[in-house]
């Protein structure tokens, strides 16, 4: 699948109907999602892998993972409204080996969720402080090989240190950097266990 093709498919996906601000709900921009997913695919973390999308929202990253060759994808999402939209988005495709689970990440440890790769566009912690770090902790519990996550540029060093020391990442680096239209700079960070 080519970059532009994936990008245009993502652009056609439905968005949140009534975005809940406290959950920092917004659809991942098509170009951003495509860049991120292509990067993770090129590093060998998508094709033939089991992928989990934490906080999958409308399903942008989860669906992209399947389209780029993931064997199986699980989307975890807390909000019923988002899940409804994600289900509709999935209907537009045939043979999506994608399941969703409705769950609060605060309670995810009790499940036995494991995947090769976690992809996510987590809340930045602007509404609930520390939300981004909670997502990262969960990501490291679930992922066996790699975590791809979007964060604000301003938190880059803090996250790198946190991942290396507290989460025992083998490496943490910026895989991709893109300026985003809402005047926030997003950095894609790539952690390998």
Partner 1 sequence: MRLLTHNMLASNVKGVKNGYPLRIEATTVETKTADFNPEFLKRMFPKLEWKAFCEASAALGEKGLPAQVSPETLEDEEFLKAFHHSLLELHVEEGALICPETGRKFPVNKGIPNMLLNEDEC
| Positions in the binding site for partner 1 (CB under 8 A) | 48, 50, 71-72, 74, 78, 83, 87, 95, 97, 99-104, 106-114
Q: What is the DSSP string of 149-163?
A: EEEEGGGHHHHHHHH
Question: Residue 77 CB, nearest distance to partner 1 (Å)?
Answer: 9
Question: Residue 74 CB, nearest distance to partner 1 (Å)?
Answer: 6
* Contact residues for 125 (Cβ-Cβ < 8 A; gap 6+): 131, 132, 133
Residue in 90, 88, 104 with CA at minimum distance from that of residue 55:
104
Report the distance separating Cα 160 and Cα 141, nearest Å: 17
Question: Residue 87 CB, nearest distance to partner 1 (Å)?
Answer: 6
Three-class SS of residue 112? Answer: coil
- Indicate the residue among 59 and 123 with the shorter CB distance to partner 1: 59
Question: Residue 81 CB, nearest distance to partner 1 (Å)?
Answer: 13
- Indicate the residue among 106 and 182 with the shorter CB distance to partner 1: 106
| Cα Rg of the chain, angstroms | 15
For residues 77 and 91, the answer to whether their CB atoms sit within 8 Å is: no
- Indicate the residue among 111 and 184 with the shorter CB distance to partner 1: 111
Question: Residue 177 CB, nearest distance to partner 1 (Å)?
Answer: 33
Q: Is 22 exposed, middle or buried (0-12, 13-18, 19+ CB in 10 A)?
A: exposed
- Indicate the residue among 7 and 25 with the shorter CB distance to partner 1: 25
- Indicate the residue among 75 and 190 with the shorter CB distance to partner 1: 75
């Amino acid at each position: 699948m080519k970059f532009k093709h994936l990008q245009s498919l993502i652009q056609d996906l439905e968005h949140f109907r009534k975005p809940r601000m406290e959950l920092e709900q917004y659809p991942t921009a098509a170009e951003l999602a495509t860049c991120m997913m292509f990067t993770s695919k090129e590093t060998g973390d998508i094709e033939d892998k089991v992928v989990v999308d934490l906080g999958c929202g409308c399903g942008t990253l989860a669906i992209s993972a399947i389209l780029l060759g993931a064997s199986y994808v699980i989307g975890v999402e807390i909000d019923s409204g988002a899940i409804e939209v994600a289900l509709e988005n999935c209907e537009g495709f045939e043979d999506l080996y994608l399941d969703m689970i409705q769950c609060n990440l605060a309670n995810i440890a009790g499940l036995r969720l494991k995947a090769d790769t976690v992809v996510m566009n987590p809340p930045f912690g602007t509404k609930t402080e520390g939300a981004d770090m909670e997502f990262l902790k969960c990501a490291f519990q679930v992922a066996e090989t790699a975590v791809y996550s979007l964060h604000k540029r301003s938190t880059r060093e803090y996250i790198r240190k946190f991942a290396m020391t507290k989460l025992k990442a083998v490496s943490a680096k910026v895989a991709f950097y893109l300026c985003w239209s809402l005047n926030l700079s997003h950095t894609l960070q790539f952690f390998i266990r």
